Copies of this chain bind each other. A is one copy, B any other.
Amino acid sequence: MAQPHTSRFRTVGDGSGIERSDNFTREEVALALRNRGMPLEGLRYPITPSGMHYLLVHFDIPRVDAAAYRLRVGGLVEHEISLSLDEIKARPAVTMPVTMECAGNGRALMTPRPISQPWMGEAIGTAEWTGTPLAPLLHEAGLRPESTEIVFTGADRGVQDDSVHLYQRSLTVAEATREEVLLAYAMNGQPLEPQHGFPLRLIVPGWYGMTNVKWLTSIEAIDHEFSGYQQAEAYRYQTESGEPGEPVTFIQPRALMAPPGIPDFLTRTRLVEAGRVTLSGRAWAGREQVTRVEVSTDGGETWSDAALEAQVGEFAWRGWSFEWDAKPGSYELSVRASCATGASQPDEMWNLQGMGNNARQRIEVVVEERPA
């Protein structure tokens, strides 16, 4: 509603110290309206309902005619292969839960803010993907010895930085032939919906979302470093424009909390009733295992270990929970994950494209004896 908020929930322009300095542009908002985050109460589900899963679509969602559809496997192979959707579905099938996250997740929390899809942490989801492993198909095609990379091409086409292109990404042969890499045609037991890549998409567990090419039409073996826009220009860890930077690859550790209590509509500040509150959420780290989740109820001053559940799958998140004795007052809740490699979550980070920002989540909470 249009009325300014007062009282317990701070908002911009109310004199509480929050500045209207965010200055999000119309273009960022238009992207946020097209793409979708997972509302964080969705963390309660081990498998995200399909319509709640995050979604990023670079260009338009293409319409692909399933009856006319062919997947082409070519390039530096002994035998070019062309398969219909039915032929792909007739191959050996695997179903696997995979936690997927957008590489730009958390971008809008960086200062200064890189201008693109303005994710604040909700670009995640875990689905059960069903498909056929890619490696046997590449072996049947017969990769020539000089092959070094596999290029995946989607049916989606558009313009980015004045480059008109189909969406394309590559993987090294070693990565592309790992056994968990799938050509997926079903999500949570149903055919892919158009926005998730119908009729076929790539699933590369452990890698950020951009790797999981949707509306896949072509797989091509090459003998050089792929230099397409979405590989060589986009999805780089850069600190300055013009420098090549490092490629964005694996999902970094992150824990998220399902915000407790009830929300204020506009500010999403949480109102919690005093007493014992179970805080809970999920944590993941791409190919790595999350070995520790810590919770802070004092804005990151002190941390306590959360209890961990089993991983939902080898490449899927695990639940965590923490009992909090909530007393009346205002709090910043926070949570952070770390994994066996020692990698954890920073308080903040920045890079030019807003990639891989796994800075810890912060949730504003107001605790009252009897909220009304």
Contact = CB atoms under 8 A, between A and B. Distances in A.
B2 A27 contact: no
A157 B158 CA distance: 42
A268 B27 CA distance: 8
Contact of A52 (B25, B159, B193): B193
Interface residues of A, number: 81
A348 to B, nearest CB: 16
A137 interface: no
A26 B12 contact: yes
Secondary structure class of chain A's binding surface, majority of residues: loop
A53 B193 CA distance: 12
Interface in A224-238: 233-234, 238
A301 interface: no
Given A32-B32, A52-B193, A265 B59 contact: yes
A28 interface: yes
A369 to B, nearest CB: 14
Interface of A: 1-3, 5-9, 11-12, 20, 22-34, 36-37, 39, 41-42, 44-45, 49-53, 55, 57-61, 63, 108, 114-116, 118-120, 122, 157-162, 164, 190, 193-196, 233-234, 238, 241, 259, 262-268, 271, 352-354, 371-372
In the A-B complex, list the 7 residue pairs whose CB atoms are closest, starting with the nearest.
A24-B24, A32-B32, A51-B51, A36-B36, A160-B265, A33-B37, A2-B114
